[in-house]
Structure 1
Amino acid sequence: MQPATATDLTRRLAVEQSGSRLPSLAAGVVRDGELVWSGARGTIDGRRTGRDADEHTQYRMGSITKTFIAVAVLRLRDEGKLDLADPLERHLPDTSIGDVTIAQLLSHAAGVQAETDGPWWERTQGGPWRSLVDQLGRRHPAGRLFHYSNVGFGVLGELVSRLRGTSWSRVVAEELLEPLGMDRTTKRPVAPHAHGLAVHPFADVLLTEPEHDGGAMAPAGQLWTTVHDLARWAAFLGGRTGDLLDPETLAEMCRPLVVVDVPGAPWTGAHGLGVQLWNTDGRRFVGHGGSMPGFLAEVRVDVETGDGVVVLTNSTSGLTRSFAADLLDAFVTAEPRLPSTWQAGDVAPEVFELVGHWYWGSATFELHAMDDGWLRLAPASGGGRTSRFRPDGDGRWVGLDGYYNGEPLVAIRRPDGTVSHLDLASFRFTRTPYDPAADVPGGIDRAGWH
């Protein structure tokens, strides 16, 4: 990172800590899987004589914990121990919400209540699983709309525990934290850690927030972490999963499943399988926010580039909502990624003969050869039904995204072996508009073009 960029990011962090009256604020920027900048401002107890915060200071991450639970669930799915379409009762038969699916719980589409029925669980000692079961209920029919549910992730934590035969926290520690080297991420605080604080709205005084074990609700927001550790998780969400999670499973997690619809406002957010998604000016970000009494946190990663930001503070409120996004945008603007160097490659003859213009009716499309024998079909005018295709054997390809995701593309050949047309999900693409020799469905008007 250039010194001028680092200075600018540090200045932005200082302005936010001071202007928003945060006891301490720590942040970091990730590129190519590495923490390329970090900064901290303030003291861990908010007092002038307190210990300065740094990248190794622990803060409570709150709901970012949910992303770890989600990965643990998807690892179980990849091992064949569950299916995302399974009703909950197949694995946890002792609840009143047994008909909701695991996927619905992960994406906050199960209609399950947002919070427990008892006292504010984030500020009171948590109880065992049985105490949560007795409170379980729903507020909406399953699968109808987005309804954020902390309770739902308490249920998912129990699911992980049942299927692994140990606590959810041990599963997360052994399967994710230890392999990633996140040795400062723990279930309860380990010094040096920030104190959870509330700042009075009209006076520069503090109130200490309670800290406790959330019990059965802990999977919704229990974990503590540092900028250094959370940067590694940002790298993970950005694609650096190693052998811990299949890249296709990560991509599945990051697909928007349920839109966060706020009446009267255009939607820009959604939820995938345990992760939040933001759509900002055509750029898609994945991650999660976190909020617990005394703490706010966020991890946000650009899905396409893997560039990410992590932010942690020990204040119940006050952090500017857009601070994390603005910090990442400032970094990317100052130091944009260089485009990859173009290099010539090999294109197989059976692929090369397909490239060029094709026509769906009178609409012009372009078919381009990609790396590894893949194809990309797009309207010549841009936008529209654009899809990539990978080889599927014997002159066939299968769609990877967009309208044609999962649909077959077949090159139909004449008796002499030359390509007559493309058959894509029953649509005929021809070399000229409505080529009468290409067996266009419905036939061609005998009068032809006139």
Structure 2
Amino acid sequence: MTSPFAELLPSTRRSLLYRVATAQSEGRTPSLVAAVVRDGETVWTGARSCVDGHAPDADTQYRIGSITKTFTAVLVLRLRDEGLIDLGDPLEKHLPGTGVGDVTIAQLLGHSGGLAAETPSPWWERTPGTLRPGLADVLGERPQVHPVGRRHHYSNPGYTLLGSLVEALRGESWEAVLQRELLDPLGMGCTSAQPQAPHAGGWAVHPWADVLLPEPSEDLGLMAPAGQLWSTVGDLGRFAAFLAEGDDRVLCAASVREMRTPSVPAEAGDWDSGYGLGLQLVRRDGRTLVGHGGSLPGFLAGLWLSVEDGVAAVVLANATSGPLVGTVASDLVRIVAEAEPRIPEPWRPLPEVDHGLLELTGLWYWATTPYGLRLAADRGLELRPLNGNGRGARFRAEPDGSWTGLDGYYAGESLRVVRRPDGSASHLDLGSFVFTREPYDPSAGVPGGVDPEGWRGM
């Protein structure tokens, strides 16, 4: 089946269906449903097998497990953007008495607070949340297993603390805040903390026989911000579009980009994955994907987004184990991105000419390395090495006439034009590096000076 916005080629649609069918069959899951989003619109949905006698569709709920954490992270970033918190604040400042108050909010978001991965026994995913009525029951007697801020260590209790932080600052339940501040604005009417019909039941599949065992569906209580939600591929497709572009009703594009930026170093030997602020990051098939995986007994979920390709995929299944839904989701992104690459926007000239900026374009040298400076939209600049060796970056114009680096080595660094008394550009100062029109231009104030005898042979 396909959505009304379907524009994919028949061959692409068949490749997507084949991948989903293979995943359901080889993964031995009672049902599996998937969706692909391109440039903000759902362009394909597909499903295999059935739920309650019917094939699942874009509005059939499955439990999404830890994808819930990304929703919680959005609520925390909203608090930051409103000035109620700083991500560098220690938890104790806003949520006292936890026993782990020296951990910062940013460290909780990025799983670098050193907290334990799980709660004390019994297994929280398969037992009622009423067994853990307070944060002390979630954190246990040994809440931290690593030094704070030294490594990435995934922590479910850490997101319980973030959910409690949201409740403390908003004065109402995490679920109510989520509904008002995120689900309603994004039109995610099929996402909820409790299952709503139509929804799939959770199953365990015997590893050595084609038989099933129903899994319990527990209300996780305080652990809800770490994994409670039920959702659909339709709603998660809307959420993926939000994670690509932002939405000022929920979170601006700059804050969403911040969520997609690595917040902690990768584990030793694991250089193809990382974690931002509530988002997992991976490199697969030569492209960067952001999103999150999720699992709870009876369910598996995966959401991956390639911002560069403008393609996202969501895969949901109702089995405790079996199909590698994260791999399937990344494969769906790859199939569409490779079969139907994104058509670039047409080139257009700038609407007006700023001759002062135009004078700055062209060839500059850092020491002896040639760079090209281009004028971009909105008075921005782009500086790139011409021989492939060196550090390049894009720069955003500031009101004071300087520019701020947006990426790479120079992200956050200031670029300014140093002018001669007659107003002409002498050189560029970029974080104390001097870029000149000629290699080591003696009139440009090169640090350390330039030998008065100039260039010579040997």
TM-score over 0.5 for the pair: yes
Match of 2:283 in 1: 279
Report Cα offsets for 1:241-273 as digits up to 9, x if no partner: 242111111111111112332x5x441111111
Runs (5+) with no aligned partner, structure 2 = 1-7
RMSD of aligned residue pairs (Cα, Å): 1.5
| Residues 332-375 of structure 1: CA deviation (Å, up to 9, x unaligned) | 11111111111111331111001111001011111111011100
Could you tell me which residue of structure 2 aligns to residue 59 of structure 1? 62
Contact 2:12–2:336 (8 Å) recurs in 1: yes
Change (3 A) 1:309 1:445: same
Q: Give the partner amino acid of 2:120.
A: D
Match of 1:334 among 331, 339, 359: 339
After superposition, the Cα gap between the structure-2 partners of 1:271 and 1:399, relative to the gap in structure 1 and judged at 3 Å, is: same
Q: Does the alignment pair 1:28 with 2:35?
A: yes
Partner of residue 121, structure 1: 124
Q: Measure the CA separation in 2 of the matches of 1:176 and 1:205.
A: 39
SS in structure 2 of the partner of residue 25 of structure 1? strand
Q: Percent identity?
A: 55
Alignment of 1:349-360 (within 5 A): 349-360=355-366
Q: Quick one: distance in 1 between partners of 2:322 and 2:390? A: 42
CA distance in 2, matches of 1:194, 1:384: 53
How many residues are matched? 444
**Equivalent residue number for residue 401 of structure 1:** 407
Give the distance between the partners of 1:296 and 1:150, measured in 2 at CA: 17
Q: Which amino acid is the alignment partner of residue 323 of structure 1? A: V
Q: Is residue 2:199 matched to residue 1:193?
A: yes
Moved more, 235-244 or 361-370: 235-244
Separation in 1, partners of 2:345, 2:187: 30
- Residues 120, 138 of structure 2: 8 Å contact kept: no
> Aligned residue for 1:162?
168
Alignment of 1:33-432 (within 5 A): 33-44=40-51, 50-126=53-129, 127-130=132-135, 131-132=137-138, 134-135=140-141, 137-261=143-267, 263=268, 265-280=269-284, 282-320=286-324, 321-345=326-350, 346-382=352-388, 384-432=390-438
C-alpha contact (below 8 Å) 1:185/1:225 kept by paired residues:
yes
Shift of 1:135: 4.9
In 1, are the aligned partners of 2:371 and 2:383 still within 8 Å (CA)?
yes
TM-score normalised according to structure 1 size: 0.95
Q: Which moved more, 1:152-161 or 1:412-421?
A: 412-421
Q: Distance in 1 between matches of 2:26 and 2:401?
A: 62
Partner of 2:3: none
2:37 and 2:290 mapped to 1: Cα distance?
14
Most deviating of 404-413 and 291-300:
404-413
Whole-Å separation in 2 of the counterparts to 1:381 and 1:32: 34
Q: CA deviation at 1:327?
A: 1.1
**Contact 1:28–1:310, Cα closer than 8 Å, also in 2:** yes
Gaps of 5+ in 1: none
Q: Deviations over 1:274-300 (max 9, x none)?
A: 111112355222110001111110111
Q: What letter is aligned with 2:280?
A: Q
Whether 2:15 is the aligned partner of 1:8: answer yes
Contact residue 33 and residue 240 of structure 1 kept, 8 A:
no
- Deviation per CA, 1:104-149: give whole Å up to 9, x if none: 0000000001000121100011132343255561000110000000
Stretch of structure 1 that moved more, 317-326 or 426-435: 317-326
CA contact (8 A) 1:185 1:223 kept: yes
Separation of aligned partners in 1, 2:184 and 2:424 = 56
Q: Distance in 1 between matches of 2:222 and 2:114?
A: 19
Between 1:51-60 and 1:134-143, the stretch displaced more is 134-143
Letter in 1 for 2:255: T
Bigger mean CA offset, 228-237 vs 341-350? 341-350
Deviation beyond 6 Å, 4+ runs, structure 1 = none
Q: What's the CA shift for 1:212?
A: 0.9
- The residue type equivalent to 2:48 in the other structure is R
In structure 1, distance between residues paired with 2:21 and 2:413: 51
TM normalised by structure 2 equals 0.94
In structure 2, how many angstroms separate the alpha carbons of the residues matched to 1:282 and 1:31?
19
The whole-number CA distance in structure 2 between the counterparts of 1:310 and 1:13 is 11
Q: 1:112 to 1:310 in 2, by over 3 A?
A: same
Separation in structure 1 between the aligned mates of residue 389 and residue 211 of structure 2, nearest angstrom:
54
Matched to 1:382, the amino acid is G
SS at match of 1:237: helix
- SS of equivalent residue, structure 2 residue 98: coil
SS in 2 for 1:438: coil
Contact 2:309 2:341 in 1 (8 A): no
Residue type of the alignment partner of 2:59: H
- How many Å separate the matches in 1 of 2:297 and 2:363? 59
Q: Secondary structure at the match of 2:251?
A: coil
**1:384: how far off?**
3.5
